[in-house]
Structure 1
Amino acid sequence: MSQEDQPRMKFGTFGGVFTPCTLTILGVIMFLRFGQVVGQAGVLYAILIVVASKTITTLTTLSLSAIASNTRVKGGGAYYLISRSLGVEFGGAIGVVFYLAQAISVAMYVIGFTEAFVGTFSAWENHFVIIATLINVATFVCVYIGAGWTIKVQYFILAILGAALASFYLGAFSSFELSLMRENLMPHYDAGNSLFTMFALFFPAVTGIMAGANMSGDLKNPSRSIPQGTLGAVIVTAVIYLSLALILGGTRPYADLIGNNLIMKEISIWPVLITAGVFAATLSSALGSMMGAPRILQAFARDEIFKRLSFFGAGSGSSREPRRATVLTFVIAQICILLGDLNAIAPIITMFFMITYGLLNLATFYEAITKNPSYRPTFRYCHWSVSLAGTVGCLAVMFLINWIWASASIVVISGLYWFIHYREVESRWGDLHSGMVFERARQGLLKLEQEAYHPKNWRPIILTLSGTAWNRPHLAVYGHWLTAGHGILSIAHVVTGDIEEHAERREKFENTLRAFIAKEELLAFPAVVVSEYLSDGVEALVQCHGIGGLRPNTVLLGWPNDPLKSESFGSTVRLVSRLGRSIIALRFLRYREDEGEPTGPVIDPWDVPIGTIDVWWRGRRNGSLMLLLAHLLHQNPEWRGNRIRVLRAVSNDEAVEEVTRHIEELSASARIAAEPVVVVSSDPARAIQQTSAAAAVVILGFEPPEESAEAAFFARMESFVGNLPRVLFIESAGGMELES
């Protein structure tokens, strides 16, 4: 049995999710800073701040609930959910920053605990680092022993927190005055403060909604516990914060609320419980971060996005505790404690949390709008609009808190994303990328189907009849050159025989074509059909391949080297022409030639020969497509050095000037740079062979042969080109205009 499948201690909704979330949300800000928020913003705007903050975290919780109930959630919390939706790049970036944010948060909470401790017991003021180190060690030991022990400690802390709040409420009821409430309803901002600064001060208090999700690998039923526990914590803490705003506003003047950070202790009936509550809040947050951070690193390391971190993916004991990752988290926290003041980096930690929440909302949004059939969350109370609102809300809050740190954190995330993308790390799990691409393609195809066609928008959609392509690679290569960056190329093969007998061969040949496409790095799609006869297979491909506006408009096939094949070739081009497709027939001598005889090794189809691209013009019927294909060929970087020439043979010298001017006007109106060449000759075949002897490729027009005239047609076209090594024979079905 693998380590991943071994039984381990599992926690329920209350202990594994509700408790850590509640303890993290009801933290030190509630005890030491919320009075200032109420005093400066006033009761009404303090309520607005709480409602706005809780709205954003509630939207995120709804997204979290939807995505958590749609998949089997393993360890890693937000990292696992984001990486399995948005892909390895976003997941890897979030894994790094979310872990570091959680690890450094341990130090922040430990320092917060120590500040409260030395503030209460001033005799220990000179031993700040020692106390903080001891608390960090105690936190580490609790978590290192195991999550089960830590959860039990958190139950005790939750009880202290409840007692502290009860003490405050009891004390407040006896001193509540409506006159103070009326006085504190509206803002009383100090110099430099505003509603936004108070919002920025309070918002970090409600960002603990991931504390339960970080325990995802240790939950009995994550898809149920994460929604129930997190939403429960959000609702309970919202009620507490709203009640605190009302009670604080009615028990003390705003000056006291602003100036006294321990105002809750003064109001409480048993002040010692508030002190214990402050200690409990900071300690519970430190425990939550120390417990969650190693689980993020463990899940991240197991995915081997960065090989050097795989050491931390191991688990210890039957419950697979992330003890190696816990040690590293302790070390990072201790370094930060020794550095002392964390105020400089605290804002970017908050930003990393917000980016994580924003990306979680974004992942749920994309899951919903791609309409992927695999997106079937059992949590039904989340719509794509809710997730989109959560994404926008998180981004807005980041810039409201501090636009400089928001920008810096986005740059960091972007840098990690592109670094992982550059390293071409491949995920071993499915993500949203293919679903997003599919949905964009589906919408694009439907829109394209509704658009009225115009010759200006003609693009080469080429179906190449290349067989397996391995023995005729030049067809695929020329198809690639003619479509790269402009159109779509499909490489097709017809398997002849009975379909029931050759069904497995069809899949084999398709895989062969895929291998060829990958090896040659072509931008192409494979297409294989099984048919009893070759002609029937070609007919099926030409008629049925493609979809909507992306059906092939051009068929590329090889010119036969054997005259005995002229009849089948002639019938094929005649069929393709009747089906309304343009034809490109490539005549390619596969061997190096010496005095007209094939000698030497096979020519590399990717070798671009020296010479011109010669278009022999005989009129617009085929000429428009011929010149456009010459232009598309010339657009490839490998062919940029090959000039385009438009040539025409005339019978007398008097026509040279007029034809030259016509070609120049044609080139200008088509916006294609081409050199006009007019040849005076009474023998067109001789003119073509002599003038284009040094050409890189020659482009000629043709008309499909009549039935029973295939052999004569083949002989006539061969007489035109002789031993020219590379010729494209073109038959245009129309649909494009050079002037468009």
Structure 2
Amino acid sequence: MNELSTPPAASEAKITAGKLGTFNGVFTPSILTILGIILFLRLGYVVGNAGLGKALLIIALANLISVLTSISLSAVATNLKVKGGGDYYLISRTLGPEFGGSIGLVLFLAQSVSIAFYCMGFAEVIGTFFPWMHHLTIQLIASGAVVFLFFFAWQGADWAARFQFGVMALLAAALLSFFAGTIRSWDAAILAANWASPENGVPFWALFAIFFPAVTGFTQGVSMSGDLADPGKSIPLGTFWAVGLSIAVYFSVAILFAGVLSNATLSSDSGAMKNVSAVGFLIDAGVIAATLSSAMASLMGAPRILQSLAADKIFSLLTPFAKVNGPAANPRRALLFSSGIAFVTIALGKLNLVASVVSMFFLISYGLLNYATYFEAKTESPFFRPRFKWFSPSLSLLGFFLCLAAMLAIDLKSGAAAIALLFAVYQYLKRTAGPTRWADSSRSHHLQQVRRHLLAAGKEPEHARDWRPHLLVFTQTPEHRIPLLTFSSWIEGGSGFTEAVQIIEGEGAEARAMHKAAHLALTQAIASGHYDMFPLTVSSSNFTQAMGVLLQSSGIGPLRPNTVVLNWMGASVKALSGLGAYTYAKNLKLIFRQHKNLVILSMDDESWIRLLDEPMAGRRIDIWWQGNGTSRLMLLLAYLMTRHKPWDQATLRVLTQSDTLHIEREKEKLNKIMEDVRIDAVAEIIENFEADTIVQQSADAAFVFLPLKIDQYRLLDLTGKSFERSLPRLPVCALVMAAEDIDLDATPEEGLPAQIGRATDELELALKKSAAAEKIAAEKMMLVEKLSSQLSILEEKSVPEKVPPKEGEKLQREIANAESDAEKAHRRAIKAKFKADEAARNIDNLEPELQSKIEPPE
């Protein structure tokens, strides 16, 4: 009885207090909606125009969608505890509130309009008995039908189920009457004649569009999920029984139609079923029962979707409809609203304008239900454990595409209108929806994508063109945390990853309490600034040891920090260690030895405020250039800063020194470098790198990048002297020291993969040359053996002193030449083999390095 405007858990508790079973809660509403007006008034028309062969194909294709969707429905329904809301609940808990809210709203409207649609169909059937009735009278009858059905729905699901039992009895009697009449009139010759489609029949897809609404009722039982005692068991079982029985009915009725009446009769007489039935008036009763049962199913389903939407607080205007009444949690407010929409629709009387769009909404919901199941399965979450075992993600994906195909086949314009409305609601919810009140599958999807892409990236060799700033930011001083996080987000440039770290020194309960408070503060700082980074708080008895472990272990696979960002010790002597300047410098050397780039932010409160207050237009970033790896890193970080709005109008200026005789040449050289690396920057040549020169040139800059050197445990500027001479007089600065040489103009053909490719080509060529040389050497040796054999035979056949001297001398010369050629060929073969072995060794030497790039050592 209470308003469900408080916790969703309370709402769900009420909604799940259902008493209906599989038969009366799922099977009955589903089968009554499926066996509707299409069965009684349009199936004969489809068979007559298509011929029995194509008619059976139409029935099979339409039911294939219902079977595939039923499989998806069963998988999702047996994977979680289904609460009220039916399709809306299943889709929203899988694809999130935006998809769920949009499909829930349009399904509610579709089912509310369907109430009017079916009641108008009922009134028109009544009108055939009284041809003199006025159109207004038809609308009054339809309104009366809504009132009649409303009475049962107001009492609750139990009363509605009792009404449906009576409707089912009429439907069963009508079908029995039809079967009895057609079996005794069966003629195999008529069946054979009706197999092929007539010459002037209606096109296949037009007939498919006429028939398809017949199978769009199998999810009616899902809409009653909140009234079911065991939704996980009842939904799949009841749905499959309803779909299976309806398939049998439609196939058998189509075959019986084709065996008793000609195609011409079937296509022209909408009352053919009544004419061949044993008791004709039972067919009229069946038509009336079919329209009323479909209207009743929609009248029960629509309010429950609305109530579930309201309880989830997706649309604030719908909150009053979260209220339920009685122990069965009957949503009477939502029922009143649904009935009101039905009355308005009847009053307008333009049902044909919305009928096709309504069908599209149902098709979209089936498609999204299939996609939601596929989406959930492909996350490969350990929590996707459906009890329904005959499930396959491929079948769900096939069901999704078949639903889209059916929409195109039925009515392209109506489908586009339905999708446009759905997309508009989705975009609205994406901008206005508050915090999600449940866990959907989107995060599991992202995690699975991360896993898949990380594994794929880990199998590819690292290349200079792949370099991105992966930052490890030490935020030891809370008072300077925000500037450091802001600066880190600038130089990350939306291309890398940032991990904000705080190390808590201590042990025991006190350290654990400090750890919890520090992590909360760090998380809040990141959230308040909307920084794209991850918080990490570490407790340790020794700061330096903890930092060393972090440097080696942070990251996963190819995503490991390559750059450490921290505050300048002038901002606070506790910027990195708590032990003063010596330990600060010592820790910087430790970072550098771990092959991490160093970026140190130098600022004070005054310079930072001045930077933030400076107009975005006209800002300038100065980079002090020495032509080494540090210079290239500073240039790249400055460029990445310009990707952010505060800096997208900034000018980059690169300053380097040269004597007065070579200023133009150095400037031209520097401009050529900027052109080659494709970064717009202004080149400036100065006489020296002295502190006064740096201050004079960069005092009016918005931001300055300066190279850093570490000598022993001293931090030095470009001239090898202390920064204390320049930093206090400069704006906000970044001191940079590169541990790697970043190639800003790397080509795809460079790097280890290219080296191995070239080495492989060289090996292949060397092997070919070696094989060819060995073949030639073997041929030369065979020639020597052949000539030697000829000389031996000649000597054996003749007395030695009577051997013709010219012939013997000729053979001996040929043997000598052949032996010389064979020796040369053998030497060439050995040389070629050596080159092939050397090429193979080159590859062997490169592959460990390549493997180390693919799989970084722990």
Match of 1:624 among 619, 632, 638: 632
- Greater shift in the superposed pair: 602-611 or 299-308: 602-611
- Greater shift in the superposed pair: 531-540 or 70-79: 531-540
Q: 1:599 aligns to what?
A: none
Matched, 1:288 2:294: no
Q: Distance in 2 between matches of 1:349 and 1:398?
A: 11
Matched, 1:591 2:606: yes
Number of aligned positions between the proteins: 727
Matches within 5 A, 1:183-198: 183-188=193-198, 190=200, 193-198=202-207
Match of 2:265 among 256, 269, 272: 256
Match of 1:664 among 671, 696, 701: 671
> CA-to-partner distance for each residue in 1:598-639, whole Å, 9 max, x for gaps?
xxxx72774457653111112223111111112112332212
> CA-to-partner distance for each residue in 1:117-163, whole Å, 9 max, x for gaps?
12134354663222222212111112112211110111111111111
Normalising by structure 1, we get a TM-score of 0.95
Q: Distance in 2 between matches of 1:513 and 1:226?
A: 46
Matched, 1:176 2:186: yes
> SS of the counterpart of 2:353?
coil
> SS of the counterpart of 2:85?
coil
Q: 2:283 aligns to what?
A: 274
Matches within 5 A, 1:508-547: 508-547=517-556
Percentage identity across aligned positions?
Answer: 37
> SS of the counterpart of 2:580?
helix
User: Deviation of residue 486 (structure 1)?
Assistant: 2.0
> SS of the counterpart of 2:179?
helix
Distance 1:405 1:735, change over 3 A: farther
> SS of the counterpart of 1:57?
helix
Greater RCO between the two (CA within 8 Å, min separation 6)? 1
Matches within 5 A, 1:274-423: 274-423=283-432
Distance 1:341 1:646, change over 3 A: closer
Q: Distance in 1 between matches of 2:199 and 2:141?
A: 36
Matches within 5 A, 1:550-699: 550-561=559-570, 565-591=580-606, 603=609, 606-608=612-614, 611-650=619-658, 652-681=659-688, 684-699=690-705
User: Deviation of residue 190 (structure 1)?
Assistant: 4.1
> CA-to-partner distance for each residue in 1:478-503, whole Å, 9 max, x for gaps?
11110132222221111111266523
User: Deviation of residue 469 (structure 1)?
Assistant: 4.0
Match of 1:452 among 455, 461, 483: 461
Q: Distance in 1 between matches of 2:555 and 2:11?
A: 47
Q: 2:725 aligns to what?
A: 719
Q: Distance in 2 between matches of 1:491 and 1:735?
A: 25
> SS of the counterpart of 1:64?
helix
User: Deviation of residue 387 (structure 1)?
Assistant: 0.8
User: Deviation of residue 705 (structure 1)?
Assistant: 2.6
Q: 2:675 corresponds to which letter in structure 1?
A: A
User: Deviation of residue 505 (structure 1)?
Assistant: 2.8
> SS of the counterpart of 2:711?
coil
Match of 2:740 among 720, 734, 737: 734
> CA-to-partner distance for each residue in 1:361-387, whole Å, 9 max, x for gaps?
111111100011121111111111111
Distance 1:9 1:634, change over 3 A: closer
Q: Distance in 2 between matches of 1:327 and 1:549?
A: 59
Matched, 1:488 2:502: no
> CA-to-partner distance for each residue in 1:344-364, whole Å, 9 max, x for gaps?
110000000000111111111
Distance 1:442 1:8, change over 3 A: closer
Distance 1:492 1:230, change over 3 A: same
> SS of the counterpart of 1:516?
helix
Distance 1:319 1:468, change over 3 A: farther
Q: 1:159 aligns to what?
A: 169
- Greater shift in the superposed pair: 407-416 or 434-443: 434-443
> SS of the counterpart of 2:198?
coil
Does the CA contact (< 8 Å) of 2:22 and 2:235 recur in 1?
A: yes
Q: Which runs of 5+ in 1 are unaligned?
A: 593-601
Q: 1:234 aligns to what?
A: 243
Matches within 5 A, 1:40-55: 40-55=49-64
> SS of the counterpart of 1:603?
helix
User: Deviation of residue 643 (structure 1)?
Assistant: 1.7
Does the CA contact (< 8 Å) of 1:626 and 1:699 recur in 2?
A: yes
> SS of the counterpart of 2:729?
coil
Q: 1:673 corresponds to which letter in structure 2?
A: D
Matched, 1:201 2:210: yes
Q: Distance in 2 between matches of 1:612 and 1:133?
A: 73
Does the CA contact (< 8 Å) of 1:314 and 1:324 recur in 2?
A: yes
Distance 1:565 1:433, change over 3 A: same
Matches within 5 A, 1:138-157: 138-157=148-167
- Greater shift in the superposed pair: 18-27 or 655-664: 655-664
User: Deviation of residue 9 (structure 1)?
Assistant: 5.3
Matched, 1:700 2:706: yes
Q: Distance in 1 between matches of 2:542 and 2:175?
A: 85
Does the CA contact (< 8 Å) of 2:12 and 2:83 recur in 1?
A: no
Distance 1:709 1:80, change over 3 A: closer
User: Deviation of residue 281 (structure 1)?
Assistant: 0.7
Does the CA contact (< 8 Å) of 1:567 and 1:711 recur in 2?
A: no
Q: 1:580 corresponds to which letter in structure 2?
A: H
Q: Distance in 2 between matches of 1:588 and 1:489?
A: 21
Q: Distance in 2 between matches of 1:130 and 1:656?
A: 95
Does the CA contact (< 8 Å) of 1:294 and 1:325 recur in 2?
A: yes
Q: Distance in 2 between matches of 1:711 and 1:654?
A: 28
Normalising by structure 2, we get a TM-score of 0.82
Matched, 1:84 2:84: no
User: Deviation of residue 532 (structure 1)?
Assistant: 1.3
Does the CA contact (< 8 Å) of 2:101 and 2:314 recur in 1?
A: yes
Question: RMSD over aligned Cα, in angstroms?
Answer: 2.0
Does the CA contact (< 8 Å) of 1:570 and 1:705 recur in 2?
A: no
Q: Distance in 2 between matches of 1:714 and 1:228?
A: 81
Question: Radius of gyration: which is bigger?
Answer: 2
- Greater shift in the superposed pair: 330-339 or 71-80: 330-339
Distance 1:613 1:341, change over 3 A: closer
Q: Distance in 2 between matches of 1:33 and 1:333?
A: 24
Q: 1:718 corresponds to which letter in structure 2?
A: E
> SS of the counterpart of 2:49?
helix
User: Deviation of residue 94 (structure 1)?
Assistant: 1.0
Q: 1:573 corresponds to which letter in structure 2?
A: L
> SS of the counterpart of 1:343?
helix
> CA-to-partner distance for each residue in 1:305-335, whole Å, 9 max, x for gaps?
1122111111112212111111111111111
Distance 1:613 1:461, change over 3 A: same
User: Deviation of residue 261 (structure 1)?
Assistant: 0.3
Q: 2:495 corresponds to which letter in structure 1?
A: H
> CA-to-partner distance for each residue in 1:620-676, whole Å, 9 max, x for gaps?
2311111111211233221233321111223x3112122112211111111111111
User: Deviation of residue 720 (structure 1)?
Assistant: 4.8
Distance 1:684 1:513, change over 3 A: same
Q: 1:426 corresponds to which letter in structure 2?
A: P
Q: Distance in 1 between matches of 2:480 and 2:681?
A: 34
Distance 1:177 1:624, change over 3 A: same
Q: 1:598 aligns to what?
A: none
User: Deviation of residue 549 (structure 1)?
Assistant: 1.6
Q: Distance in 1 between matches of 2:381 and 2:265?
A: 56
Match of 1:461 among 449, 455, 470: 470
Matched, 1:14 2:23: yes
User: Deviation of residue 709 (structure 1)?
Assistant: 4.8
Distance 1:468 1:519, change over 3 A: farther
> SS of the counterpart of 2:480?
coil
- Greater shift in the superposed pair: 329-338 or 412-421: 329-338
